[in-house]
Amino acid sequence: MNIPDIIIAIDGYSSTGKSTLAKLIAEQYSFLYLDSGAMYRGVTLHALENGIIDASGTIDEARLKSALENLDLDFRIDGTYIGDRRVEQDIRTLEVSSHVSPVSAIPFVRNYVDEKLHAFGQRKRVVMDGRDIGTTVFPDAEVKIFMTASPEVRAQRRFDEMKAKGQEPVMEEVMKNLLERDYIDSHREVSPLSRAADAYVMDNSDMTLHEETVWFQGLCQGKFGILE
């Protein structure tokens, strides 16, 4: 099946499998996959490593603002980079996860990331996942998907993912982090997580990845007609 040169926006709660589906779509249809959360995680990692976030979690916004002027955060074919350093693993720790939501709620941080995302979206055939892609970053995206799943299923997925990476997660902490991020992401003032009116909702609590791809094909066939 071929799909036209479009932008596909996949938004939703943490650990709903947005990136898994997005990567699969990118692979199947030769789209470029962009993980917008990685940009917010990169900013957060940089802030943590440079003492811009203190032990109590307070963010020095003035310092962060000037740090962003020189922060060379980029997507490359093999992941996220700060300058020449590949930070793909370092941005996925529980420490980064537990500070990223407040960092991503800061308006100048959102502007910094949005500028980068827009530049990448200039070329079509892009699938991007995040929280506000269909509402704010690419409101004209031709296909918008909003993903959700029960908190229990999501916490288990995150737990398994961390274990597989050799980390030692504690289920209560994983669940707490997930619920906190849900709350902050959907209640912040600027671009909160919300479903675009024209987004298709997928609750994948009980779906296999194969069922998700069949669902996506059905959506595209309905939208673009029968595709070769």
Separation between Cα atoms, residue 119 and residue 132, nearest integer Å:
16
E strands, 110-208, where? 126-130, 143-148, 200-203
CB neighbour list of residue 176: distance below 8 Å, 6 or more residues apart: none
- The nearer residue to ligand DC, 31 or 40, going by C-beta atoms, is 40
Question: Interhelix angle for 61-69 vs 107-121, to 10°?
Answer: 20
Which residues are at the interface with ligand DC (CB under 6 A)? 14, 36-37, 40-41, 100-101, 104, 130-133, 181, 185
User: What's the closest the beta carbon of residue 169 comes to ligand DC, in angstroms?
Assistant: 15
User: What's the closest the beta carbon of residue 15 comes to ligand DC, in angstroms?
Assistant: 7
- The nearer residue to ligand DC, 10 or 218, going by C-beta atoms, is 10
Separation between Cα atoms, residue 199 and residue 78, nearest integer Å:
29
- The nearer residue to ligand DC, 3 or 191, going by C-beta atoms, is 191
Tokens of 93: 């720790």
Separation between Cα atoms, residue 28 and residue 45, nearest integer Å:
32
User: What's the closest the beta carbon of residue 227 comes to ligand DC, in angstroms?
Assistant: 28
User: What's the closest the beta carbon of residue 221 comes to ligand DC, in angstroms?
Assistant: 28
- The nearer residue to ligand DC, 101 or 204, going by C-beta atoms, is 101
User: What's the closest the beta carbon of residue 133 comes to ligand DC, in angstroms?
Assistant: 6
- The nearer residue to ligand DC, 65 or 116, going by C-beta atoms, is 116
What is the residue type of 33?
Y
